[in-house]
């Protein structure tokens, strides 16, 4: 990826790496690049609940307005809502201020085009070049040519909620659900949607204070959700991340159903309904071996991409795949939306449950996943690129591959959003693969920490 843009926008520690000055220049550059003739570009801006959200929102807004662009602020709202609303408002671009599942001190800025898709790499590079060149990225407007800004928070939320409800079962009367909103962007929208559908709703993670987003809660920390599902006797638990583009399900017995299983079961539902175009499902190199084996038995072909929703979507568009995603719970239902949407994914999973009239635990048992261990090695940015050239590390990788043989696999990849190298090992013996993954991650970290 570029010097500023990673696989999911521009990210960093707010007010240190991702400064208001940088946000201002991103606003100016994006408005300049997306300007069509003499038309002032219209940007729709949403954010999650981080304390730094308003700081960056004001800064990027100022940059857009300075060169004559217009801004529609929709406030705290899920990332996928912005992707949907840019079309509803006929905006030229959408901006999301969020660092997704990362800790609160981080933040990010990512862009969608007017059709709800993430900006093309070439457009991001053009914006990036303007920001980094140090050249003024567009004449500052004066007088009546200065851009204008207005708020659409309540209306925008209602439009998005109505869209979600349109994809859901007609009623969830008698259905008991626990929602974990991660103290993030879904804390109002998700409960509203499920209550309007008639569900019996218990909510956790709906008290954001600017610093508790993703903190021991949400899709990356489902323990509290598991306990709450058991405590209240719910039919289902649904966990989102900070910007609500991911979903992890907890069944009525308190067991986790991850993204791979959700995709498998929803793909089976779509196939039975005659809506699985080309009998094709899109996953990533991290998709579990069990994911591929289950879908193969259904007569479904799988295609694998690099990790990252950007790559999943690119492959889906090329092959007309209607469902794809990641083990993390970032799932794209291309019939309905252009990006991962945790709330929408929840409703599609419930559609499948109601179609078969089965409990979540019964459906989950249909998909057998191989034990999989993921270890993170904290490295320098230099280390993310150079570990593959290290002879000692390569020798250790060769040894592990020999031990695993045909009954497992090893995958190593640098993170696109954090200074990490991720080590994943899959195999039949959990204790054995856990020890190998830990040892290899420690070796990589030791050799490339600085």
Please identify every residue annotated as catalytic: 100
Q: Do 414 and 381 form a contact (C-beta atoms < 8 A)?
A: no
A 10 A CB-CB count for 405 gives 9
R_g over Cα of the chain: 22
Instruction: Give, to the nearest 10 degrees, the angle between helix 391-404 and helix 430-448.
Output: 170
Backbone angles phi, psi at 232, to 5 degrees: -95, -5
Distance between CA atoms of 237 and 239, rounded to whole angstroms?
Answer: 7
Give the single-character DSSP code of 39.
B
- Burial string for 297-324 (b: 16+ CB within 10 Å, else e) reads eeebebbbbebbbbbbbbbbeeeebbbb
- How far is Cα 47 from Cα 35, in angstroms, rounded to an integer? 23
Cα 304 from chain centroid?
17
- What is the torsional sign of CA 426, 429, 431, 436? negative
Q: CA nearest 189: which of 101, 75, 266?
A: 75
Q: Helix 53-66 to helix 20-34 angle, to the nearest 10 degrees?
A: 40
DSSP assignment letter at 14: B
256, β-bridge pairs: 250
- Gap between the Cα atoms of 312 and 331, Å rounded: 9
| Phi, psi dihedral angles at 309 (to 5 degrees) | -60, -30
**What is the DSSP code (8-state) at residue 118?**
B
Q: Counting beta carbons within 10 angstroms of the beta carbon of residue 389, is it exposed (0 to 12), middle (13 to 18) or buried (19 or more)?
A: exposed
3-class SS of residue 190: helix
156-160 contacts: CB < 8 A, separation 24 or more? 156/44, 156/46, 156/72, 156/74, 156/75, 156/77, 156/81, 156/85, 156/89, 157/74, 157/75, 157/77, 157/81, 157/188, 157/189, 157/192, 159/85, 159/88, 160/77, 160/78, 160/81, 160/84, 160/85, 160/189
């Amino acid at each position: 990826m570029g010097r500023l843009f990673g696989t999911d926008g521009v990210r960093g520690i707010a007010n240190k790496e991702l400064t208001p000055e940088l946000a201002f220049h991103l606003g100016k550059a994006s408005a300049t690049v997306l300007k069509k003739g003499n038309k002032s570009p219209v940007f729709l801006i949403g954010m999650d609940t981080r304390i730094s959200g308003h700081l960056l929102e004001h800064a990027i807004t100022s940059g857009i307005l300075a060169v004559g662009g217009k801004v529609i602020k929709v406030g705290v709202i899920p990332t996928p809502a912005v992707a949907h609303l840019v079309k509803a408002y006929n905006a030229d671009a959408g901006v999301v201020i969020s660092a997704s599942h990362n800790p609160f001190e981080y933040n990010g800025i990512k862009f969608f085009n007017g059709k709800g898709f993430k900006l093309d790499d070439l457009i991001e590079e053009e914006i990036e070049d303007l920001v980094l060149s140090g050249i003024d990225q567009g004449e500052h407007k004066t007088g009546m040519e200065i851009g204008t800004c207005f708020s659409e928070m309540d209306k925008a939320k209602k439009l998005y909620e109505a869209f979600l409800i349109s994809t859901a079962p007609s009623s969830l009367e008698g259905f008991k659900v626990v929602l974990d909103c991660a103290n993030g962007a879904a804390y109002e929208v998700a409960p509203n949607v499920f209550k309007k559908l008639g569900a019996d709703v218990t909510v956790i993670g709906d008290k954001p204070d600017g610093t508790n987003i993703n903190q021991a809660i949400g899709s990356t920390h489902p323990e509290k959700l598991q306990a709450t599902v058991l405590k209240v006797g719910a039919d289902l638990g649904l966990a989102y991340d900070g910007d609500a583009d991911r979903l992890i399900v907890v069944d009525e017995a308190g067991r986790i159903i991850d993204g791979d299983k959700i995709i498998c079961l929803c793909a089976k539902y779509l196939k039975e309904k005659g809506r699985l175009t080309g009998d094709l499902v899109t996953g990533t190199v991290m998709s579990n071996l069990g994911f591929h084996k289950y879908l193969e038995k259904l007569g479904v072909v799988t295609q694998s991409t690099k990790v990252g929703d950007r790559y999943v979507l690119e492959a889906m568009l090329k092959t007309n795949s209607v469902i794809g995603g990641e083990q993390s719970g970032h799932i794209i239902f291309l019939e309905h939306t252009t990006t991962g949407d945790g709330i929408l994914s929840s409703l599609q999973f419930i559609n499948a449950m109601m179609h078969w009239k089965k409990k979540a635990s019964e459906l989950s048992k249909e998909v057998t996943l191989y034990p999989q261990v993921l270890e993170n090695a904290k490295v320098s940015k230099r280390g993310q690129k150079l570990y593959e050239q290290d002879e000692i590390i390569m020798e250790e990788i060769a040894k592990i591959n020999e031990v695993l043989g045909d009954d497992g696999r090893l995958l190593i990849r640098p993170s696109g959003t954090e200074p990490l190298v991720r080590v994943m090992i899959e195999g039949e013996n959990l204790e054995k693969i856990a020890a190998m993954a830990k040892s290899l991650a420690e070796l990589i970290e030791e050799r490339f920490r600085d």
